[in-house]
Structure 1
């Protein structure tokens, strides 16, 4: 039996879709996709598809999904993408009632999230789907570069938005805490490393031709593909969409995200080149090795610092906790990326010093991440 709120939403949805299709539409099934404020909804009606995906804003302000701006952002971003690239990169918006807090999207089933496939079968089995992932990220940047004004005009029509805050990034505040943690660990930021960090932040805040649309969470859980057969991919979850440095979307190919201990070597697998060749189609400056390498290293280093803010929490956990391994590999993977592009040498040395200190502090985590038998690509964090 649906909860009362679901029944109320179903009634609003029926009215919304009946108006949209100018034909009677009935809700036949409401399947909540926990823990998110998302449902797959079966429909009855000659004009409507058999099912849609519905997202909503929680009425309870204590709920994490209660921020109405998130729904407005997704609505604007998906409609903008539809204008720019059609329906081949993300779900179509079917209808919306922003006042009621409902967004109705194309149902992309039977596609499933890439992270589920990687956890189940391993990265080697899904190399083609990882390639499709890297291609989709590159295509998003290429297709939307240089069109920030058009996106923000659409977004502003739905409510207030701050483009400068978008470029800074919603996680930027965590970097300051990370620097303080490094100092407490005996690895203070100083000298040329501090100068390089300033240059890094300048690059991310003023990306120039690399300014492009991101869904704000470019990870393997936010792309849907068929488990077998065609590898056409769809990016999802644009609640945190923003215009930012395009290479922030490439970080997930080089440095572990929250779900993984390792992501492997994207250069050896070809994922890095696949992404870059796709991005160049819309951002020719990505062909410049120096500029591309600096932007990518800056984005990876920034992410490593964001993750370092978790140090106090991880320091309280039991020996052998996977999150400790993950943090060390995040720092070292960011350092490897910068070194491979011959940039930010002093910041790289500082990041490696922090990783070394953590290895000593957490002897249970002092393991060799270069051993592919122990830590294969996309080894999930427990």
Structure 2
């Protein structure tokens, strides 16, 4: 296996830290590595298979328990790594590449103007506060996977899921709730992920996280941070507006993008957080529904429908 940039170093550090330094069984163990040769040999997790493949094959209802296991293992990752950042940095010496949230602030205003719905007034103030939360997580500082999606969760096809997380190439210490976004807002694989509260996924994740981050039991703090994390993902996806605008009608990416904006807004509203920012997200979604009539579709009954 070959890698680019710092990805092999990041993957190796995260996996060794979790399995060797913290003694966890949430990921594959490192068998051997030679980064100069681009070689990384990991524990074989078979017969586990990617969760997203099972859902695509059988439908989401057949794998609700495995989705719950995915939510739990994400929370367990955060709980187990809280308070250990100094050990991680001392042992592996990895630092953040840049202040990505400062960059996101500037790009969000640029992209909002391109769509024709500028961020201003109270929405801009709430966005600033939300990005500050993600930049300075305090007691919510944990080691995150960096690509927490169902394709990076391996589970047993039958019996207990015994879930494991893979693909830590973008791992690093940051706000715990960034890894929870995938439960609320669709990632690249799905058109929609439905309602994680009704499905029980929200409680599975939060209970697991709270075992190591008791502040997760604070409704106000937790809700604000979750809304901030979901909004940040919506803003990252907004950077693709120009690309999607050029695609042919019926492209699933348009549907997914509108749902991303609306699900981030729903999450904020459900937690009584950033109301003006949530309103702005809905306004962008409404604007795109009018601009792209093919994306004016109700996805409320299509949780975990694959994106084509």
Using the size of structure 1 for normalisation, the TM-score is: 0.78
Q: 2:134 and 2:111 mapped to 1: Cα distance?
A: 22
Q: What is aligned with 1:162?
A: 95
Q: Which runs of 4+ in 1 moved over 3 A?
A: 171-178
Instruction: Report how far residue 299 of structure 1 moved.
Output: 0.1
Structure 1 CA distance for aligned equivalents of residues 97 and 244 of structure 2? 32
Structure 1 residues 164 and 199, CA gap change in structure 2 (3 angstroms): farther
Comparing both structures, which one devotes a greater share of its residues to helix? 2
Q: How far apart, CA to CA, are the structure 1 residues paired with 2:272 and 2:225?
A: 12
Structure 1 residues 164 and 319: alpha-carbon distance in aligned structure 2, compared to 1, 3 A threshold: closer
| C-alpha displacement of 1:155 | 2.0
Distance apart, 1:302 and its partner CA: 0.3
Matches of 1:108 and 1:87 in 2, distance apart? 15
Aligned pairs for 1:113-152 within 5 A: 113-152=50-89
Q: Structure 1 residues 345, 222: CA separation in 2 closer, same or farther (over 3 Å shift)? A: same
| 8 Å Cα contact 2:115/2:241 also seen in 1 | no
Tell me if the contact between 2:105 and 2:128 (Cα under 8 Å) persists in the aligned partners. no
Match of 1:179 in 2: 109
Deviations 1:68-88 (A, max 9, x none): x21111111111101354252
CA distance in 1, matches of 2:21, 2:52: 27
SS across alignment from 2:188: coil
In the other structure, the counterpart of 1:297 is 227
In the alignment, is the contact (CA less than 8 A) between 1:331 and 1:351 conserved in 2? Answer: yes
Residues matched between the structures, number: 308
1:103 counterpart residue number:
40
Q: RMSD of aligned C-alpha atoms?
A: 1.5
The structure showing larger relative contact order (alpha-carbon pairs under 8 Å, at least 6 residues apart) is 2
What SS does the corresponding residue of 1:163 show, helix, strand or coil? coil
Alignment match, 2:166: 236
* Counterparts in 2 of 1:84 and 1:130: CA distance versus 1, 3 Å: farther
- Mapped partners of 1:295, 1:268: distance in 2: 20
What is the aligned counterpart of 2:189 among 255, 259, 268? 259
Q: 1:174 to 1:208 in 2, by over 3 A?
A: closer
Cα deviations across residues 228-277 of structure 1 (Å, max 9, x unaligned)? 11210110011111001000000000000011100010000100011000
Cα distance change, pair 173–115 in 1 and its aligned pair in 2 (3 A) = farther
| Counterpart check, 1:279 vs 2:216 | no
2:271 to 331, 341, 348: 341
Aligned CA distance change for structure 1 residues 183 and 264 (closer, same or farther; 3 Å):
same
Aligned to 2:254: 324
In structure 2, list runs of 5 or more residues that go unmatched. none
For structure 1, the residue ranges without an aligned partner over 5 or more in a row are 1-55, 58-64
Post-superposition offset of 1:98: 2.2
Asked if 1:378 corresponds to 2:308, the answer is no
Match of residue 82 from structure 1: 19
TM-score, with length taken from structure 2: 0.96
In 2, Cα distance between the equivalents of 1:237 and 1:184? 34
> Which has the larger Rg?
1
Q: Return the match for 2:147 from 208, 217, 223.
A: 217
